[in-house]
Amino acid sequence: MSVRRLWASASTLVLAASVALGVAQPASATSPAAAGGYVALGDSYSSGVGSGSYLSDSGDCHRSTKAYPYLWATQNSPSSFAFVACSGATTGSVASTQLGALSSSTTLVSVTAGGNDVGFADVMEDCVLYSEATCLGSVNAAVSQMQNALPSGLGSLYGSIRSRASQAHVVVLGYPRFYQLSGDCIAGLSETERSAINNASDVLNGVIAQQAANAGFTFSSVVDEFTGHELCSGSPWLNSVTVPVYESYHPKSAGQSGGYLPAFRSAA
C-alpha cells in the first residue's frame, strides 16, 4: 500500500531491485477535524516512503514531511498530531505497535494497510525478475489472499481502532493502480503483467472498501487522482525500480501532495 509492499521495504537487494503507491489548497480553518487530535496510522504509503525528506527520528519507518498526513496537519493545525505510520506495516503490526497513539480525544484517523499482508513486494519481485507465467501466478496468489485472508485482518484492525478512538472520524485510503496501459514504457513488464497488477490493485481496493464500510469508516480511493500519473504515463507520480531501493513502487512527493492529500482532505 512500507517496504514489503506494493508496499513495503526492500529487505534484500533482490527485493530492492524488483520491488518492491498538484498543489493542494488548504482545507478550511473551520474544519471540524482540525479541532481535535489527528492520528496517522498505516504502512509506507502513509509514512511517505518514496517522497524523500524523512524525519530523522523515524528510522526505518521513513516518515516524510512530504507525506499526506504531515501536509494535512501543517495546513490544518489540529490540536495534536501523532504520525506513527511505518514502512513495512501490516494490519497486524499496525494493531500491535501503532494504536497506542489513539485515545478518547482523537477526532480524526487516517490509515493505509493491506498491501503488505498479501505480499505485494514479492509479487513485484517475481514480475520484474522472472517469467510472465511466474508473475501471473504470484499475482493470482496475492488476489486469493486478498479475498480469503485479508478481510479478517482488516476487520480486526478496524475494530481495534474503533474501540480505542470511539468518537473519531476514520478515513481509510486505498492504493493507486501502478500502470497506464498502452503507455510509453518500451521495456520492462509485458502489458499482460501490467494489466494483472492493476487488476489486483482493484481487487485489493475493493476488499479494503468493503471492510471499511462494515466498520462504519470512510473509504477514499486514490485511483482517480493518480489516473494519468501512473508508471508508463508521461508524468508518473510513482517510482519504478529506483535507488534507494526501498522507494521503488511508492509515490513520489507529487503523488503524496497531488494524489493522497486531496483524497484524504475530501474525506476528512
Instruction: Give the pLDDT score at 5.
Output: 35
The whole-angstrom separation of Cα 57 and Cα 59 is: 6
Instruction: Give the pLDDT score at 186.
Output: 86
The whole-angstrom separation of Cα 9 and Cα 12 is: 9
Instruction: Give the pLDDT score at 250.
Output: 97
Grid coordinates of 246: 526501498
pLDDT in tens, 27-52: 334 355 556 899 999 999 999 999 99
Query: Would you call 62 a catalytic residue per the annotation?
Result: no
> 142 or 21: which carries more pLDDT confidence?
142
Q: Which amino acid is at 40?
A: A
pLDDT in tens, 103-139: 999 999 999 999 999 998 899 999 999 999 999 999 9
Q: How confident is the model at residue 10 (pLDDT cuts 50, 70, 90)?
A: very low
By three-state DSSP, how is residue 257 classified?
A: helix
What count of Cα atoms within 13 Å lies in the side-chain half-sphere of residue 18?
A: 20
pLDDT in tens, 58-107: 999 999 999 999 999 999 999 999 999 999 999 999 999 999 999 999 99
Instruction: Give the pLDDT score at 266.
Output: 98
Instruction: Give the pLDDT score at 22.
Output: 31
pLDDT higher than 90, residue 13: no
Query: Would you call 44 a catalytic residue per the annotation?
Result: yes
The count of other CB atoms within 10 Å of the CB of residue 215 is 18
pLDDT higher than 80, residue 9: no
pLDDT in tens, 215-265: 999 999 999 999 999 999 999 999 999 999 899 999 999 999 999 999 999
Q: What is the pTM of this model?
A: 0.88
Proportion of the chain above pLDDT 90, given as a percent: 85
Instruction: Give the pLDDT score at 120.
Output: 86
pLDDT in tens, 163-204: 999 999 999 999 999 999 999 998 899 999 999 999 999 999
**Average pLDDT taken over every residue of the chain:** 89
Grid coordinates of 87: 514502512
Contact call for residues 129 and 16 (beta carbons, < 8 A) = no
Which structural domains are found in the chain, ordered by start?
13-267 (3.40.50.1110)
The count of other CB atoms within 10 Å of the CB of residue 189 is 21
From the list 44, 64, 221, 248, the catalytic residue is 44
Instruction: Give the pLDDT score at 160.
Output: 98
From the list 62, 169, 229, 250, the catalytic residue is 250
Instruction: Give the pLDDT score at 28.
Output: 38
For residue 80, give the H/E element and its range.
strand 80-83
Give the torsion through C-alpha atoms of 59, 217, 158, 33, to 10 deg: 40
| Residue 7: closest CA among 103, 92, 117 | 117
